[in-house]
Amino acid sequence: MRSRERSFWMWAETLELLQGGEQLQRRFFTLDGPQPVPCWEPAVDVYQNDDELRLLVALPGVSPRQVEVALDDDGLLVRGERPMPARLSRAAIHRLEIPYGRFERRIPLPAGRYRLHERFIADGCLMLVLHPF
């Protein structure tokens, strides 16, 4: 690799890292103000056994009281908020990788009509069990 190509590659990587840092900073500094739009989307797994549909939504650190679930013709909507822990709100931040603030995730479902049969949080994940009707 020639010196000029290596220099260009290093600058491109540096710019990419700076942009990522700016995005994190913007996300962090919007936590205290009103947030009309969600900041992040939780990861979701969807499983189907016979006629039962199970959705596992990764929400560590989120209280069940802070989660809203809505089922409609377009699929399933999970939204809520993961607040910054109060004891850490004045701490110096050295790394911030866990997203905080409002979240929302719309999950399309397999064809059919479903009703929410069961809902619980275990091991930091929201489990939703849907049955067809």
**In this predicted model, what pLDDT tens digit does every residue of 105-114 receive, in sequence order?**
999 999 989 9
* C-alpha 72 chain-centroid distance: 20
Could you tell me if 71 and 107 are in contact, meaning their C-beta atoms sit under 8 angstroms apart? no
Q: What is the pLDDT of residues 34-87, one digit of tens each?
A: 555 778 999 999 999 988 999 999 999 999 999 999 999 889 999 999 988 888
The single-letter code of the amino acid at 71 is L
CA torsion sign for 12, 18, 20, 22 is negative
> With 0-12 CB in 10 A as exposed, 13-18 as middle and 19+ as buried, what is 78?
buried
